[in-house]
Structure 1
Amino acid sequence: MNLTFLETFVWVAHLRSFTLAAERMHATQAAVSARIASLERELGVKLFVREPRDVRLTPEGERALAHAERMLRCSKEFYRDVASGDGLRGTARIGVIDTISHTWLIDFIRRSRATYPRIDLELVADTSLRLIDMLVAGEIDLGLIMGPVGGPEMIDIDLCTYASAWVASPTLGLDGRPLDVGDLVRHAIVSFPRCSQPHQAMMRYFSRFTEDETTFYSTNSLATIIRMTVDGIGVAAIPPTVVRRELERGELVRLDVRQPFPPLGFQATYRDGPASHLPAALADLAREVAREFCGGQDPALAW
């Protein structure tokens, strides 16, 4: 039985559209229709009821879907466990957040090139919130994000965790002495974007203070957060692993704050489905690279 025909059947069933399935599989609608017709002839049953604005599974199609998905999962596992790197090919659309871009993304790209030379990577840099939306919409195949996402169709693989620390420009004169949260709010707080996990944690961290007592500068750019903090605009909670060079050069100093800021956890997330063997393989590779990176860091800062 042709696995491509089965994959086409599963996509049409999930998307309830021949047109959308054709777009997802980079095929023409005529090719998708021909594959479904061929599969129906081979099985001797009608799989879909075609209506002007909808496509529905027949009772036979409902039964066939579970079997088709199981066969495709077995095929994915077979490729992952048996095939060489040269056997995997195609284009993988990967969304990545700045924190990973600033640490081990280049190592991941190099490892991917060496392990899977026939996989082309299309990289999209954005916030976790936006990348999750893109994952759900099928616009990217894999997200290297701050998650997890959860849900029955999403696979979350833990990558690594970074400790966070309060940092500031030495020009603010905050280093060398113990500080409390109240000492921080005398300065602007440079933060990750609103609604993000770090910003929500930040709001809980300063929950005993009113809006009039705190000033937040939020941005979706980690580079901008670092630049603003280096320039003395405010203080920020950033993983020291990310700003190692700025700390070594004395552009930033770690602050001794009695109330620690919570660590940040990162995941590789992809949608489980008929074409998930590529993102699954790359997610496993990302986990290997992330763990190797953390193995070379202070275990109190990255694990």
Structure 2
Amino acid sequence: MARINMEQLHTFLAVVRLGGVRKAAVALNVTQPAVTARIKNLEEMLACELFDRTATGMKLTKRGELLLSHAEKFEYLSQQVEKDVVDPAGVEDHLRLGVSETVAQSWLPDLVFRLHALYPKLEIEFNVDISINLRAGLLNREIDLAILLGPVSEFSVDNIELPGIDLGWYAAADAPECRDASAYLTRPVLTYARNTRPYRELKELLFERVGPAVSLFPSTSLSACFRLVEADLGVGALPRVLAQDYVAAGRIREFDPGWVPSPLRFSASYLGEPKSHLVETAAKQAFEVAVAYQGDKNA
């Protein structure tokens, strides 16, 4: 009799937890036919059907329920071996990383460098997007680790809160001087995309302090915001860690209208089940890198 392998059990658990072959294939980063073949081979080895297949989906049979309890125990033991025994240098795996643009432009390269130092054979695929899309990708298991404006308030998600990123007000270096700096805010204000928390909070603050006539120009690209501020087409509420180089080069300058929006709060978020020592390690590394980056910038 052929022996059951962990790949088959891992696939079986993914189909059970996600409710079907398609979602399991996305989560495992394989094709649907590959998932179907693994389940079929597993059923042939055990000489029984594990799922009742209906028009509404796949439901475990009684033998499938029995296998589930054993598979979860094997999974736990496998995770413990990976954590306690396996040399990270020998881990061959794939990490799907989703990050916001603020992170991508600041400490993402440092994180990738650290992960490759820990796991030389690790293949890292990363996607830069706005937080609402990263959250959806995480919950749909299209992303393993999301570094986004968080935390993600879902029972299935574990969050590691990262250091806050301060915002500042910026205008073009050659913008006309205003005796009252708050007058700058009557100009178009360039900032984060419309369907983000920073945009919503900034809009409320501007309506309260400047009035509903204020002009907000949201953008999904922080790089574009900095370029437009530099071209004196508006002012921006933008991350200080990214603005420092522009200020040092004399391209933009900071101004103080007497208030700034609250710092951006990011989290390294990942699904708690199934547990992955690799993903948990990557999330902890993200925290350490973010702390170190902030320390370097504030030094």
TM-score band, normalised by the shorter chain? 0.7 to 0.9
Alignment-derived partner of residue 263 in structure 1: 263
Offset at residue 13 of structure 1 (A): 0.7
State the one-letter code of the partner of 2:193: P
Query: In the alignment, what sits opposite 2:133?
Result: 130
Judge conservation of contact 1:169–1:253 (CA < 8 Å) in 2: yes
**Count of residue pairs the alignment pairs up:** 291
Give the secondary structure class of the aligned counterpart of 2:164: strand
- The answer to whether structure 1 residue 285 and structure 2 residue 288 are counterparts is no
Aligned counterpart for 1:34 among listed residues 25, 41, 64: 41
Cross-structure match for 1:199:
199
Letter in 1 for 2:40: S
Q: TM-score, normalised by structure 1?
A: 0.85
CA distance in 2, matches of 1:63, 1:151: 29
Mapped to 2, the partners of 1:70 and 1:284 lie a distance apart of 25
- Structure 1 window deviating more from structure 2 (82-91 vs 63-72): it is 63-72
CA spacing shift, 1:203–1:20, aligned 2, 3 Å: closer
- 8 A contact 2:96–2:145 mirrored in 1: yes
Residues 1:68 and 1:266: Cα distance change in structure 2 (over 3 Å): same
Are the aligned partners of 2:95 and 2:124 in contact in 1 as well (CA < 8 Å)?
yes
**Structure 2 partner of 1:139:** 142
Tell me the amino acid that sits aligned with residue 34 of structure 1.
N
CA distance in 2, matches of 1:70, 1:169: 60
2:51 paired residue among 48, 51, 54 = 48
8 Å Cα contact 2:190/2:235 also seen in 1: yes
Contact 2:99 2:147 in 1 (8 A): yes
Instruction: After superposing the two structures, state which structure 1 stretch, 232-241 or 218-227, moved more.
Output: 232-241
Amino acid at match of 1:120: E
Segment drifting more, 56-65 vs 263-272 = 56-65
The equivalences for 1:56-75 within 5 A come to: 56-58=59-61, 61-62=64-65, 65=68, 68-69=71-72, 71-75=74-78
Report the CA distance between 1:274 and its aligned residue: 2.9
Q: Deviations over 1:237-256 (max 9, x none)?
A: 11211111111122121112
Q: Which of 12, 22, 47 is the matching residue for 1:9?
A: 12
1:107 is aligned to 110
Helix, strand or coil: the match of 2:163? strand
Amino acid of the residue matched to residue 246 of structure 1? Y
Where does the alignment leave 5 or more consecutive residues of structure 1 unmatched?
A: none
Q: Is the 8 A contact 2:43 2:49 kept in 1?
A: no
Structure 1 residue 157: deviation in Å? Answer: 1.5
1:148 is aligned to 2:151: yes
CA distance in 2, matches of 1:65, 1:160: 40
Q: Distance in 2 between matches of 1:36 and 1:159?
A: 44
Question: What is the SS of the residue equivalent to 2:162?
Answer: strand
> Contact 2:162/2:290 (CA < 8 Å) preserved in 1?
yes
Distance apart, 1:219 and its partner CA: 0.7
Give the Å deviation of 1:100: 0.8
Give distance in 2, aligned partners of 1:70 and 1:184.
Answer: 62
The question of whether the paired residues in 1 share the 8 Å contact of 2:191 and 2:238 is answered with no
Deviates more, 1:266-275 or 1:247-256: 266-275
Partner residue of 1:217?
217
274-283 vs 120-129, which deviates more? 274-283
Letter in 1 for 2:122: I
Q: Secondary structure at the match of 2:53?
A: strand
Percent identical pairs in the alignment equals: 27
